[in-house]
């Protein structure tokens, strides 16, 4: 699939990518050798389907396999990273340990024990996880799954859980699920509290709507692309609370290191002493990672991240013969592992320290981002290059972690919102036609960053102006072609596509697939974010909730245009009492059924003021991301 409106690379883009290629002096053979080491099997077709529809297809990125030279429309570093991520199959990591890579953005790891499989991170979707489990069983002999470890709280590391086990198996005690402290709370924050807007922004970061080809989606940096399909959750049955925790997993010793607020708010590394094998979760991968992902998330702690890597070196650096992570390929040999971890440690500490040095000198985030470039000490190793995170947006994240969104300039304390300020900017610049004329000249001179910036005012002032949209789209496109970071490329090219074709209205389920697994307190947090007080005119109210499946009683109050929650209690003077189940509420909130249908089915019983309860449910927002520009 291609895009008929996509343009070719301009001379400035060709020069930029040619200059970038001249700086790449990595040992290509080393990375490609590691990425292919231990291959024992591949998926029979490379195409994973759900109900006859492809959720993953390795052939979509065959263009990366057809030649070694990067085209003019792709940064040569990102092209090389894409070629590495396009390598797929089931690989032996060390004796009794295998990884399936290249069938999802993340990896799934299988460890053989006496009574079956220990699985680390069951991917993003049940379809890809089930296909990889089948690949392992077919190649290595079928084994039951008895334990699953979630390394951290990001969706691509737990969402495929139903592809490797069932809730019934977990409830029966046949399958352990182990996760770090705070796992469920952080899953809720990302996928429910901020889920709808994060889903919208993830379309920019990951580029799922872009056609895969050299002028479109090439690679994410962390992996090839995102699989299609739903993600689910089974809550952990065991929690690792502190570094040094040791568990026996079917006779296999595992020692854990908690690493909160590094790559994820809830994450852990771990070591297998009998195998001299170290898992660094997603804290060390073959790219510079995000200190802040552009999809939106909590800003990560670069200083803590660096210290965790150093702690892992101190704990296990002298023992680890092999290191693997939940993305990319392993490192083999004690010296290779230590060298890799040292440089990973130092790149995050360098970004932290140098950002705050300049911040304390009075530089603002945009100035720091422009000033800091990776020094020569980091330029000879591919695994610290900006294929996913970038120095530019990482330094801004460090600044924000300490100092927040305000840069100290009172002019930025209370600026006009985008549409109002855009109209004034355009007026002050002499009108849209004059602005387009000047920006066109800037485009012809290769000043694409400025064209994007100034055309943003024109587009916000008049979203239906085709010339303004197309000019900004052309500039976004060239910036995408020049981007080393897969996420920047995807964001730029997605923006260009939306400007040309219009935006999709994307319904947001707000955690529909995981709402059944969360606590009632978290369920009410979800309700609070959806509550629109302008739609609720029943006055101060209190509603009893009895969850018959959990044997729990709660009170939900509405007062002062907001809700509050009293757990483990009921109110004799409440306006109404609801008797239902967590599953029923989850299905209503997820749009899988309606309140009336649930009442009719006998799964939702109201005593007291039925109209108030109905009014409350009618006040809950259904998030559908509105288009920035309507398609023509």
The distance between the two most distant Cα atoms of the chain, rounded to a whole number of Å, is: 76
Above 70 in pLDDT, residue 511?
no
d(CA 590, CA 585): 8
Percentage, residues of the chain above pLDDT 70? 97
Which contacts qualify for 559-568: CB closer than 8 Å, 24 or more apart?
Answer: 561/533, 562/528, 562/531, 562/533, 563/524, 563/527, 563/528, 563/531, 565/521, 565/524, 567/520, 567/521
Listed in sequence order, the residues at least 6 apart from 510 whose beta carbon sits closer than 8 Å to its beta carbon are: 192, 195, 196, 526, 529, 530, 589, 590, 623
Q: Are residues 583 and 459 in the same domain?
A: no
E-strand spans in 467-584? Answer: 506-507, 541-547, 552-559, 562-567, 576-580
The string of pLDDT tens digits covering residues 282-319 is 999 999 999 999 999 999 999 999 999 999 999 999 99
User: Residue 528 maps to which CATH number?
Assistant: 3.30.1050.10
What's the mean pLDDT in 455-472? 97
How large is the angle between the packed helices 466-482 and 11-23, nearest 10 degrees? 20
pTM of the model: 0.95
Full residue range of the structural domain in which residue 264 is found? 11-398
User: Residue 460 maps to which CATH number?
Assistant: 1.25.40.880
Q: Are residues 478 and 524 in the same domain?
A: no
End-to-end CA gap in the chain: 22
The string of pLDDT tens digits covering residues 372-391 is 999 999 999 999 999 999 99
Query: Tokens representing 562?
Result: 């907001």
As beta bridge partners, residue 554 has 545, 567
3-state secondary structure of 189: helix
The string of pLDDT tens digits covering residues 580-589 is 999 999 889 8
What's the mean pLDDT in 340-363? 98
Answer with the one of 373, 398, 423 that is the final residue of a domain: 398
Above 80 in pLDDT, residue 515?
no
Q: Are residues 287 and 384 in the same domain?
A: yes
The answer as to whether 632 is a domain residue is no
The answer as to whether 548 is a domain residue is yes
The answer to whether the CB of 254 falls within 8 A of the CB of 246 is: yes
Q: Are residues 56 and 108 in the same domain?
A: yes
Above 50 in pLDDT, residue 632?
no
Average pLDDT score, the chain: 95
Q: Which of 18-27, 87-96, 335-344, 454-463 has the lowest mean pLDDT?
A: 18-27
What's the mean pLDDT in 504-532? 81
At 507 the pLDDT is 61
Listed in sequence order, the residues at least 6 apart from 30 whose beta carbon sits closer than 8 Å to its beta carbon are: none
Above 50 in pLDDT, residue 629?
no
What's the mean pLDDT in 253-275? 98
What's the mean pLDDT in 183-189? 94
| Cα pseudo-dihedral 510, 156, 220, 66, rounded to 10 | -130
Residue 510 binned pLDDT confidence (cut-offs 50, 70, 90): low
Above 60 in pLDDT, residue 63?
yes
Q: Are residues 468 and 342 in the same domain?
A: no
At 509 the pLDDT is 58
The answer as to whether 623 is a domain residue is no
The answer as to whether 625 is a domain residue is no
At 508 the pLDDT is 60
Answer with the one of 470, 501, 532 that is the final residue of a domain: 501
Q: Are residues 427 and 345 in the same domain?
A: no
Above 70 in pLDDT, residue 178?
yes
Q: Are residues 96 and 220 in the same domain?
A: yes
At 585 the pLDDT is 92
Q: Are residues 190 and 100 in the same domain?
A: yes
User: Residue 145 maps to which CATH number?
Assistant: 3.60.15.30
> How many structural domains is the chain composed of?
3
Residue 626 binned pLDDT confidence (cut-offs 50, 70, 90): very low
The string of pLDDT tens digits covering residues 93-138 is 999 999 999 999 999 999 999 999 999 999 999 999 999 999 999 9
């Amino acid at each position: 699939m291609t895009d008929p409106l996509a343009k070719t690379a301009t001379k400035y883009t060709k020069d930029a990518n040619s200059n970038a290629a001249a700086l790449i002096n990595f040992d290509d053979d080393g990375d490609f050798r590691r990425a292919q080491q231990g291959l024992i099997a591949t998926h029979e077709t490379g195409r994973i389907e759900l109900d006859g529809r492809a959720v993953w297809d390795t052939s979509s990125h065959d263009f990366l396999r057809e030649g070694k030279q990067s085209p003019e429309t792709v940064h040569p570093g990102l092209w090389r990273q894409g070629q590495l991520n396009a390598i797929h199959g089931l690989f032996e990591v060390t004796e009794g340990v295998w990884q399936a890579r290249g069938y999802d953005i993340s990896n799934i790891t299988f460890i053989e024990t006496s009574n079956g499989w220990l699985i680390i991170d069951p991917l993003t979707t049940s379809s890809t996880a089930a296909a990889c489990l089948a690949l392992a069983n077919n190649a290595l002999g079928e084994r039951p799954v008895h334990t699953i470890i979630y390394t951290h709280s990001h969706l691509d590391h737990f969402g495929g859980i139903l592809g490797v086990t069932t809730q019934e198996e977990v409830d029966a005690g046949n399958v352990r699920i182990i996760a770090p402290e705070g796992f469920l709370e952080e899953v809720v924050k990302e996928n429910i509290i901020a889920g709808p807007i994060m889903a919208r922004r993830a379309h920019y970061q990951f580029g799922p709507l872009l056609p895969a080809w050299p002028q479109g989606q090439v690679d994410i940096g962390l992996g090839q692309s995102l699989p299609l399909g739903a993600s689910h959750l089974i809550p952990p049955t065991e929690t690792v609370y502190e570094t040094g925790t040791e568990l026996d997993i079917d006779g296999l010793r595992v020692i854990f290191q908690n690493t909160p607020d590094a790559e994820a708010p809830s994450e852990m590394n771990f070591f297998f002493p009998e195998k001299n094998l170290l898992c660094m979760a997603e804290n060390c991968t073959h790219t510079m990672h995000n200190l802040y992902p552009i999809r939106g998330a909590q800003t990560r702690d670069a200083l803590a991240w660096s210290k965790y890597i150093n702690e892992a070196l101190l704990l296990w650096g002298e023992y680890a013969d092999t290191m693997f992570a939940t993305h990319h390929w392993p490192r083999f040999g004690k010296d290779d592992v230590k060298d890799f971890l040292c440089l990973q440690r130092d790149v995050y500490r360098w970004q932290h320290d140098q950002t705050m040095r300049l911040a304390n000198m009075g530089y603002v985030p945009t100035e720091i981002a422009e000033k800091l470039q990776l020094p020569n000490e980091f330029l000879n190793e591919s695994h610290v290059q900006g294929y996913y995170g970038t120095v530019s947006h990482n330094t801004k994240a460090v600044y924000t972690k300490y100092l927040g969104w305000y840069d100290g300039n009172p002019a930025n304390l209370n600026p006009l919102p985008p549409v109002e300020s855009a109209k004034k900017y355009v007026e002050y610049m002499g009108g849209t036609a004059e602005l387009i004329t000047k920006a066109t000249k800037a485009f012809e001179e290769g000043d694409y960053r400025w064209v994007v910036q100034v055309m943003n005012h024109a587009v916000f002032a008049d979203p239906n102006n085709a010339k303004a949209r197309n000019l900004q789209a052309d500039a976004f496109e060239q910036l995408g072609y020049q981007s080393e970071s897969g996420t920047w490329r995807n964001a730029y090219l997605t923006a260009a596509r939306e400007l040309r074709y219009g935006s999709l209205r994307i319904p947001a389920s707000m955690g529909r697939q995981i709402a059944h697994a969360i606590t009632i307190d978290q369920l009410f947090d979800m309700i609070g974010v959806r509550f629109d007080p302008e739609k609720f005119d029943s006055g101060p109210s209190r509603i009893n909730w009895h969850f018959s499946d959990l044997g729990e009683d709660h009170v939900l109050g509405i007062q002062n245009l907001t809700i509050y929650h009293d757990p483990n209690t009921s109110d004799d003077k409440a306006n109404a009492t609801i008797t239902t189940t967590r599953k029923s509420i989850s299905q209503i909130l997820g749009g899988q059924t309606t309140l009336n249908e649930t009442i009719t089915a006998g799964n939702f019983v109201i005593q007291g003021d039925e109209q108030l309860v109905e009014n409350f449910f009618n006040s809950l927002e259904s998030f559908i991301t509105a288009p920035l520009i309507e398609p023509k």
